[in-house]
Amino acid sequence: VPLKAEERNVTQDVLDLLETKQPLQTSEDFPSIRQAEIKAALDRLASRSMVEYEAHDSEQVLLTPEAESIVADGSHEYKVWKAVKDAGQVPVKEIANIVGAESAKVGQGNAFRNKWIKKDGDSLVLVAETVQDATRDLLKGIQETKTLSDNKTLNELKKRKLVTLTKVIDYSVKKGPKYAKEIPVEVTDLTADMLASGAWETANFKPYNFNALGAPQDAGSLHPLNKVRQEFRNVFFSQGFVEMPTNHYVDSGFWNFDALFVPQQHPARDVQDTFFISDPPKADKPRADPITEATMDTMEAGSRKLFAKPNETGDKPKSRDFEKYWQNVQEVHQNGAFGSVGYRYPWSADECLRLVLRTHTTAVSTWVLHRLAENPRPARYFSIDRVFRNETVDATHLAEFHQIEGVIADFGLTLGGLMRFLEDFFSKMGLENLRFKPAYNPYTEPSMEIFGFHKGLNRWIEIGNSGLFRPEMLEPMGLPKDMRVYGFGLSLERPTMMKYGVNNIRELLGHKVDLTWIKEQPAVRLEKD
C-alpha cells in the first residue's frame, strides 16, 4: 500500500531530524502532528530497524481560549488598571464601556485588592504607577512549558476554567542499527529473474507487516439463526439426543393433529390458525417412507456409537403397522380406547388427510415415537426446524418460525424429572430459576409453560412449553403402558433475538433483512450471557 503524502513526510522528517538531533522528542519536535500518525511513522521505521523509540506518558497543561486572550491582552485587573492609567481617572459607571463587562466585573475587585487603583468619589483613580501582571505572567509561563508544578495554583486555574489537562504520549526516538537518510527502495516480490541472476541474495526485501489487517473477504456466512441453532444442536448432541428428520414442511392432518389427539374441531385446525394446502387436495394415508426411515437409521446409528451401553442391541425397528395405528387413532378419538373415554364425535378420515404446512415439529416427534414403538427402549430425540402458523405479523411474530423440540422416552419418568431436565437445559443458555405454569395442550397431561428470569431484560419471559405426552397419543402407537415420554418446545428466534439484541423479528427474517448485518454478526456461545 503506497504511503499517503503526509505519512511519507512524517517518516522522512523523522529521518532528517535524527541527522542533527538525537534523541528527538516527538511532542517537542512534531507538536502539531497527530499522535496516531507519529506512531505509524515510527513503527514503519522501527520495523526496518532504522529507529528505536520509547514512549512516555505525561500530562500537559493547556490554556483555554479565555486564558489565551489574557496572555495576549493582559488580565482583567490589568485592563482595568491600564484604562485608569491611560485616562488619569475613570467614572465607575464608565469602566465597563471601556474594558468590557467581564473584565470590569472580575478586574475591579482584583485591582483594588492589589492596591493598583482606588475609589475617589464616583471615580476610579490610580494608586500604582507600574504594576506586575502576575496572572498573565503565570499563564504565559504555562503556555510556553505546558506544565505547572504548583498543584494548588493548578487547581485554582482549573476551577477558573483557564487551563485544562490532557494526556500526551511523548516518544523519544534515536537512530537504529539500520538508520539511513531515506527508506531504501524495497523489493516486494521475489521474481524468477532475481533467482536466476542471484540478485535475491542482496535484495532489500520489504518486511512483512504482521499487524496489517487483511482485505475483507467477500465470503458467505451463516445466518445468526443458524449459528444459534448449531449451539443448540451441540447441547442436544452432548446429552445423547438423536436428531429427527424434519426435512418436509408439508404434512397431513394425521401427523400434525390426529395422532396427537388434537380433536378435529380444535381451533388450531381452522384456516384462521393453520395454512392448508389445496393442491394436491389430500394426503395418502400414513404409510412407510423408506427415505426418511433410512435417514433416521443413520442418525441413530451415529448416536449409538457414542452413547450406547454395551447391553443395548440397537435392533432396527420391525416393519411398522400403519393401518393398525390409523384405526387406533380413529378409535381413541371417536369411541375412546386404551382406558380413555375419547372425544366421542364422528371422526372424519377426510379431515385427517388434509394437507397442512406443519404447525409444530411435534408432527415429526410423533412419527419418530411411532417408530420407537416397534422396539420400545429409552430414547432421546430432538429437532430444530421451521414451522408455520397463520398469525398476524408484528414485531415479534412471523407466519413462520423455527421450533426447537426435544423428546425423552423412558420408563418411570416423573414430572419432577422433566422440571429438573429443563432447568439443566436452560441453564446452558444462562437462564436460571425457572418457573413452571400449568398449561393445556391436547397431547400432553400435565402441561407446563416455562418461564425464565432474563437478567438482561430484568423480567420473567415465557421461554417454552412442555409436558408428558398423553396415553391417548402414545398407546395407539403400541408403546408400552409404563413408558413415559417428555416433550418440550421453544422457538429458536427468541433466544437468537436476545443474543443479538434484535427487537424486531423482521430484521432477522424476511425481505427486510440487511445482508451486511447478517454477515457481520459474530458467532455466539449460548452459555455466555
- CA dihedral 96→102→105→107, nearest 10 degrees, is -100
Give the nearer residue to ligand PHE in terms of CB position, either 74 or 406. 406
> Which of 300, 405, 475, 493 touches ligand PHE (CB under 6 A)?
405
> Which of 342, 452, 467, 476 touches ligand PHE (CB under 6 A)?
467
Question: Is there binding between residue 26 and ligand PHE (CB under 6 A)?
Answer: no
Got the DSSP string for 172-188? EEEE-TT--SSPPP-B-
Give the nearer residue to ligand PHE in terms of CB position, either 126 or 490. 490
Binding-residue total with ligand PHE (CB under 6 A): 11
Give the nearer residue to ligand PHE in terms of CB position, either 41 or 448. 448
Cell of 206: 520489504
Give the nearer residue to ligand PHE in terms of CB position, either 15 or 329. 329
Q: In angstroms, what CA-CA distances link 483 with 67, 376, 475?
A: 86, 8, 9
Question: Is there binding between residue 441 and ligand PHE (CB under 6 A)?
Answer: yes
State which of positions 282-311 bind ligand PHE (CB under 6 A). Answer: none
CB-count burial class (<10 Å; 0-12, 13-18, 19+) for 483: buried
Q: Which amino acid is at 97?
A: N
Question: Is there binding between residue 401 and ligand PHE (CB under 6 A)?
Answer: no
Question: Is there binding between residue 81 and ligand PHE (CB under 6 A)?
Answer: no
Query: Looking at 142-150, 338-346, 464-472, 495-503, which segment touches ligand PHE (CB under 6 A)?
Result: 464-472
> Which of 360, 370, 484, 499 touches ligand PHE (CB under 6 A)?
360
**What pairs with residue 251 in β-bridges?**
356
Task: Name the strands in the sheet holding 379-388, side by side, starting at the edge strand that comes first in the sequence.
Answer: 242-243, 379-388, 400-411, 483-491, 459-469, 444-454, 435-441
> Which of 256, 362, 366, 496 touches ligand PHE (CB under 6 A)?
362
Given a contact cutoff of 8 angstroms between Cβ atoms, the answer to whether 386 and 401 are in contact is yes
CA dist., res. 239 & res. 242, Å (int): 9
Query: Looking at 26-34, 108-116, 487-495, 496-504, which segment touches ligand PHE (CB under 6 A)?
Result: 487-495
Q: How far is the CB of 380 from ligand PHE (least distance, A)?
A: 13
> Which of 135, 274, 366, 466 touches ligand PHE (CB under 6 A)?
466
Question: Is there binding between residue 452 and ligand PHE (CB under 6 A)?
Answer: no
Query: Looking at 155-163, 282-290, 484-492, 510-518, which segment touches ligand PHE (CB under 6 A)?
Result: 484-492
Give the nearer residue to ligand PHE in terms of CB position, either 347 or 488. 488
Q: How far is the CB of 529 from ligand PHE (least distance, A)?
A: 24
Question: Is there binding between residue 487 and ligand PHE (CB under 6 A)?
Answer: yes
Query: Looking at 14-22, 78-86, 408-416, 463-471, which segment touches ligand PHE (CB under 6 A)?
Result: 463-471
State which of positions 170-229 bind ligand PHE (CB under 6 A). Answer: none
Question: Is there binding between residue 489 and ligand PHE (CB under 6 A)?
Answer: yes
Give the nearer residue to ligand PHE in terms of CB position, either 24 or 422. 422
Q: How far is the CB of 343 from ligand PHE (least distance, A)?
A: 19
For 317, the 3-state DSSP assignment is: coil
Question: Is there binding between residue 471 and ligand PHE (CB under 6 A)?
Answer: no
Question: Is there binding between residue 444 and ligand PHE (CB under 6 A)?
Answer: yes
For 61, the 3-state DSSP assignment is: strand
CB-count burial class (<10 Å; 0-12, 13-18, 19+) for 419: middle
Q: How far is the CB of 384 from ligand PHE (least distance, A)?
A: 13
Q: How far is the CB of 444 from ligand PHE (least distance, A)?
A: 5
Give the nearer residue to ligand PHE in terms of CB position, either 111 or 407. 407
Give the nearer residue to ligand PHE in terms of CB position, either 26 or 403. 403
Cell of 402: 423455527
Query: Looking at 175-183, 233-241, 426-434, 481-489, which segment touches ligand PHE (CB under 6 A)?
Result: 481-489
Q: In angstroms, what CA-CA distances link 502 with 99, 230, 391, 505?
A: 59, 19, 20, 7
CB-count burial class (<10 Å; 0-12, 13-18, 19+) for 488: buried
Give the nearer residue to ligand PHE in terms of CB position, either 171 or 382. 382
Q: How far is the CB of 485 from ligand PHE (least distance, A)?
A: 9
State residue 478 phi and psi, 5-degree precision: 100, 10
Q: How far is the CB of 369 from ligand PHE (least distance, A)?
A: 11
- 387-412 per-residue burial string, b: 16 or more CB within 10 A, e: under 16: bbbeeeeeeeebebbbbbbbbbbeee
Q: How far is the CB of 318 from ligand PHE (least distance, A)?
A: 26
Query: Looking at 63-71, 328-336, 459-467, 512-520, which segment touches ligand PHE (CB under 6 A)?
Result: 459-467
Q: How far is the CB of 1 from ligand PHE (least distance, A)?
A: 55
Q: Which residue has the cell 496489517?
A: 212
Give the nearer residue to ligand PHE in terms of CB position, either 358 or 499. 358
CB neighbours of 363 closer than 8 A, spacing ≥ 6? 251, 255, 256, 260
Helices 76-87, 134-145: inter-axial angle, 10-degree rounding: 130
Got the DSSP string for 420-478? HHHHHHHHTTT--S-EEEEEEETTEEEEEEEEEEETTTTEEEEEEEEEEE-HHHHGGGT
Q: Which residue has the cell 444442536?
A: 233
- Closest Cα partner for 470 from 441, 437, 512? 441
Question: Is there binding between residue 488 and ligand PHE (CB under 6 A)?
Answer: yes
Q: In angstroms, what CA-CA distances link 286 with 139, 310, 342, 348?
A: 93, 35, 21, 15
> Which of 465, 472, 495, 497 touches ligand PHE (CB under 6 A)?
465
Positions that interact with ligand PHE (CB under 6 A): 360, 362, 405, 441, 444, 465-467, 487-489
